[in-house]
Chain A
Amino acid sequence: RKEVEQDPGPFNVPEGATVAFNCTYSNSASQSFFWYRQDCRKEPKLLMSVYSSGNEDGRFTAQLNRASQYISLLIRDSKLSDSATYLCVVPKESGYALNFGKGTSLLVTP
């Protein structure tokens, strides 16, 4: 299994839709997980951190299933401004640098 795997998409959804992205990881010892957002030709920026079973921030919910080594990101009531690439991120075994998935592309249409 690759260190971090994501469905690359693209996901094309209408405004107001709910969309979910999935991610699997190989390092069973990982204690923290992250979703980063990357806009086209811009740098990645932290969207959410996940340290226990899940985290919710407004329209965004991240869930963690340690037994299945699976992380998800749910976006409710999608906005045009949510269009971006969402990167699933797991710290490397050293604990400092990050392993990024390839990213899932989301396009929210009017």
Chain B
Amino acid sequence: ETGVTQTPRHLVMGMTNKKSLKCEQHLGHNAMYWYKQSAKKPLELMFVYNFKEQTENNSVPSRFSPECPNSSHLFLHLHTLQPEDSALYLCASSQDVGGRTGELFFGEGSRLTVL
């Protein structure tokens, strides 16, 4: 499969649960991103990875824990979340960080609901 793939597409979890979101890209890109998309807010950049190394943590609470084992895979581990963390979590990739062309390729997102 080509492009950026995210699983699961939908996730419902309680505040005490631990779950993970997965992102995989088959584009040969070096940079991967997690964005949060909430209603009535801009897309919020959460984390940036370049060649598996985290280059940006945009003041994200520690209950969100990213993991990038290689340039093709990115995880977002979730634990003790709050209802206000309910949102669409988008993964994206680009050839390089900042994207010399500014083009990010997005996945379809994982819709998270925290009860």
A, B assembled together = no
